[in-house]
């Protein structure tokens, strides 16, 4: 094995370490060999793609799969064309080969990895010595969409007033009494790591003490082959003071969206990510009443991306026609 190491590296274009449509990504492929090495083909490839895969049943029999390629560029570094001029020879030691690609200036979703799908942007290098001896390496680079509102488009969602207040009231019954819960959120749009105020008015006319809990609900939707799969995940943001039986109380909390939360997006035809603020009242020995308010997580100022490389060697179903969510000053229509 004359090839000791093969790696691909790229140069950052900003402090965040992300790339966007229209940017030029440049870097180098590094090959370390123990002696002169003849290659059949040596290339580097840049690719952006979205891919979803899930099993229809737990037995993992039928697999639903779909893939979309946003771009794919290839640059041949060395190739054996039987010229005999030595152009297909790699010298011993450390060899560096620069490359450069321009990312298409079109709307593409940001990098993302969900339960049954992911959006990845990668650089791959492949060095083929023979049909039996192929060396490969890969690294992902973080991609950030240029779309100011990746969660909105004319055909899917209409949002009026991300900074407007929202209010929802629900009445639930617990044994012989009833519980009225009114939730007021400060605004619908919240940046990563940003805090927002939430107020819960509880009128507890039941014989049980209740406790409000606040969650950030993440809803991932995947589409392939005219089918749809949905995965939800609740993140506990905080717990309020308990409300004794036959009393009323107003609980106010300041909730912070975790800075690592992926921003809401709809600009991928195969998957989308939605968020909501979920408030529940924990009732002993009964089903917890809950209220969900729409929440849009906006891009904040995340920490700089840490580049990671991967190297290897070759030898419930949800169908919602229309979901209508009311707020005190605005209405949100989600058309699936």
**281, burial (CB in 10 Å: exposed 0-12, middle 13-18, buried 19+):** buried
| Mean pLDDT value across residues 266-287 | 88
Report the SS3 class of residue 92: coil
- pLDDT over 80 (residue 56): no
Question: What's the pLDDT band for 156 if we cut at 50, 70, 90?
Answer: very low
Which pLDDT score is estimated for 179? 87
Q: Which residue has the higher pLDDT, 287 or 46?
A: 46
Which pLDDT score is estimated for 200? 92
- pLDDT over 50 (residue 332): no
pLDDT tens string 312-330: 443 333 333 333 333 333 3
Distance between CA 187 and CA 295 in Å, rounded? 8
DSSP secondary-structure letter at 21? T
pTM of the predicted model as reported, rounded to 2 decimal places: 0.79
Domain with CATH 2.60.40.640 in the chain: 3-146, 157-306+316-335
3-146: CATH, from 2.60.40.640, 3.30.2350.10, 3.30.420.40, 3.30.470.20: 2.60.40.640
- Hey, what are 124's tokens? 């791959």
157-306+316-335: CATH, from 3.30.479.10, 3.40.50.150, 3.20.20.140, 2.60.40.640: 2.60.40.640
């Amino acid at each position: 094995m004359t090839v000791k190491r093969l790696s691909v590296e790229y140069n950052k274009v900003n402090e965040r370490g992300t790339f966007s449509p229209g940017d030029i990504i440049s870097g180098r492929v590094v090959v370390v060999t123990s002696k002169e090495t003849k290659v059949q083909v040596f290339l580097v490839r840049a690719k952006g793609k979205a891919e979803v895969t899930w099993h229809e049943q737990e037995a993992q029999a039928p697999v639903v799969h779909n893939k979309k390629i946003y771009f794919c560029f290839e640059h041949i570094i060395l190739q054996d064309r039987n010229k005999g001029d030595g152009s297909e020879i790699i010298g011993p030691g450390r060899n560096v080969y620069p490359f450069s690609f321009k990312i298409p200036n079109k709307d593409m979703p940001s990098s993302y990895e969900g339960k049954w799908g992911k959006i990845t942007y990668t650089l791959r290098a492949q060095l083929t010595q023979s049909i039996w001896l192929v060396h490969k390496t890969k690294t992902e680079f973080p991609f950030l969409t240029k779309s100011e509102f990746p969660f909105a488009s004319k055909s899917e969602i209409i949002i009026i007033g991300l900074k407007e207040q929202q209010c929802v009231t629900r009445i639930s019954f617990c044994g012989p009494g009833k519980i009225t819960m009114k939730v007021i959120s400060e605004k619908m749009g919240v940046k990563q790591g940003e805090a927002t105020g939430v107020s819960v008015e509880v009128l507890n006319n039941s014989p049980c003490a209740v406790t409000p809990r606040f969650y950030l609900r993440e809803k991932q939707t995947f589409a392939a082959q005219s089918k749809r799969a949905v995965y939800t995940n609740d993140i506990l943001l905080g717990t309020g003071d308990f409300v004794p039986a036959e009393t009323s109380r107003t609980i106010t909390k300041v909730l912070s969206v975790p800075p690592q939360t992926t921003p809401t997006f709809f600009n991928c035809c195969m998957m989308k990510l939605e968020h909501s603020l979920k408030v529940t009242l924990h009732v002993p020995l009964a089903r917890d009443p809950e209220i969900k308010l729409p929440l849009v997580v906006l891009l904040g100022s995340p920490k700089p991306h840490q580049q990671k490389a991967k190297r290897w060697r070759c030898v419930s179903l949800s169908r919602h026609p229309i979901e209508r969510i009311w707020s005190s000053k605005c209405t949100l229509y989600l058309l699936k």
